[in-house]
Amino acid sequence: MKNIGLIREALAQVFRRPVTLKYPFERKPVPKDFRGRPVWDMMRCVGCGLCARVCPSGAIEMVGRGPTSEIKHYVDRCMFCGQCAESCPRRAITMTQEYELAGFDRGKMLHEYKRGSRLKTWGTSVESR
Ligand code: SF4
Ligand code: SF4
């Protein structure tokens, strides 16, 4: 008789929806303030270098200084803390909701932000605005 409760619970579980998702076929939306891959708006950036200075994991490299400088972001070193975006005096960095960033080729995890073109691609590419 003691097992009646157990049996009832087991039967109830059979008809319940699973709490897990069939990732990657199903996804939950990320929370509003989620910190994914940071991206740079080079139209706003003045090349002060503060983001590179405050980055705790050395994921940002400045190429030159000032309005002609370029920025390299090494996603494989980034821990998505958001410190760069917090510190930027020009609000040039946005923490996106992009989180599926794993890969086999570290070379593809470098994002270069150059000036002068609006080309925006992924990988060993140029992302400029
Ligand atoms: S802190 Fe902002 S303005 Fe300064 S270099 Fe970084 S992105 Fe550009
Ligand atoms: S999110 Fe954090 S670790 Fe990533 S680049 Fe910005 S400061 Fe560096």
Q: Which atom of ligand 2 is nearest to the CA of 87?
A: 7
- Domain presence at residue 57: yes
pLDDT class of 25 with cuts at 50, 70, 90: very high
Residue 125 pLDDT exceeds 70: no
Please tell me the residue having the least CA distance from ligand 2 atom 8.
55
- Domain presence at residue 95: yes
- Domain presence at residue 91: yes
- The pLDDT value recorded for residue 127 is 56
Q: Which domain holds residue 67?
A: 34-113
CA of 46 to the centre of ligand 1 (A): 6
Rounded distance between C-alpha atoms, residue 68 and residue 75, angstroms: 23
Q: Check residues 13 and 95 and name the one with the higher pLDDT.
A: 95
- Domain presence at residue 121: no
Q: Check residues 111 and 14 and name the one with the higher pLDDT.
A: 111
- Domain presence at residue 42: yes
Q: With a threshold of 0.75, does the pTM exceed it?
A: yes
Q: Which atom of ligand 1 is nearest to the CA of 62?
A: 5
pLDDT exceeding 70 applies to what percent of the chain? 88
Output b/e per residue, 52-67; b: 16+ Cβ within 10 A: beebeeebbebeeeee
- Domain presence at residue 19: no
Q: How many structural domains compose the chain?
A: 1
113, β-bridge pairs: 71
108: CATH: 3.30.70.3270
